Chains A and B, each alone.
Chain A
Amino acid sequence: GGIITQTPKFLIGQEGQKLTLKCQQNFNHDTMYWYRQDSGKGLRLIYYSITENDLQKGDLSEGYDASREKKSSFSLTVTSAQKNEMAVFLCASSTWGGANTGQLYFGEGSKLTVL
């Protein structure tokens, strides 16, 4: 088995601040994802990366940057935090082909609060 580790678990920022979330996986999966979870809005895809140094925009990419410098890690930056913003950011990885094709393995999430 493997694990997805997200840091930090809780992040408090100020309006306009640039904030970075980090994610590490030891599944040796090629593909990694960042989702945002707001109360009552399900999960929305921000960015994904098919392989090292690849970046693909999701439906919610505006206001975010991402970086995949190593196969095992994927970072997400909130470029300018919005006041009263509160959400949970979820990192996931997956492999494609084989018995569990497409199954996403999620971390526990990073909770963002903007004051």
Chain B
Amino acid sequence: QQKVQQSPESLSVPEGGMASLNCTSSDRNFQYFWWYRQHSGEGPKALMSIFSDGDKKEGRFTAHLNKASLHVSLHIRDSQPSDSALYFCAASESNYAQGLTFGLGTRVSVFP
């Protein structure tokens, strides 16, 4: 069973609109979460991390974590064509070295 589950699989958003991505963990040991973005032909790049309950905002991106339900979300405000990419949620048991467990990703397409 996938320990980190993402929804939806794909998402189409109008330019200037809001994209909302979801991530749920089935492993209660996962306490640290990241969002990564991958453009075609490139390696994933970190967007932001979130380790505490509540919201974390970085520019047009806002992440929300609810540790009780192990649910993380990512909201992209004022979506741009350059936001079209594959978005991964990743999680870790500890804040040290052991590597991240990734979800299968959500493909976001921003249309004009």
Q: Which residues from chain A sit less than 8 Å from chain B, CB to CB?
A: 4, 30-31, 33, 35, 40-45, 48, 50, 56, 58, 90, 92, 94, 96, 100-109
Listed from nearest, the 4 A-B pairs whose CB atoms lie closest are A106-B43, A43-B102, A42-B104, A42-B102
Contact call B44/A90, Cβ cutoff below 8 A:
yes
Query: In the assembled complex, which residues on chain B have CB atoms less than 8 Å from the CB atom of A104?
Result: 34, 36, 44, 46, 90, 100
Contact call B97/A107, Cβ cutoff below 8 A:
no
A72 and B99 alpha carbons, distance in the complex (Å): 18
Is B58 an interface residue, CB under 8 A from the partner?
A: no
Min Cβ gap B92→A in Å is: 6
Q: Which residues from chain B sit less than 8 Å from chain A, CB to CB?
A: 2, 32, 34, 36, 41-46, 49, 88, 90, 92, 95-105
Min Cβ gap A90→B in Å is: 6
For the residues of B in contact with A, the DSSP-based class is: loop
Q: Which of A56, A100, A107, A109 makes the CB contact (< 8 A) with B98?
A: A56
Contact call B49/A43, Cβ cutoff below 8 A:
no
Q: Which of A40, A43, A108 has the most chain B CB atoms closer than 10 A to its own CB? A: A43
Q: Which of B36, B43, B101 makes the CB contact (< 8 A) with A4?
A: B43
CB closest residue in chain B, given A99: B49
Contact call B92/A102, Cβ cutoff below 8 A:
yes
Query: In the assembled complex, which residues on chain B have CB atoms less than 8 Å from the CB atom of A109?
Result: 42-43
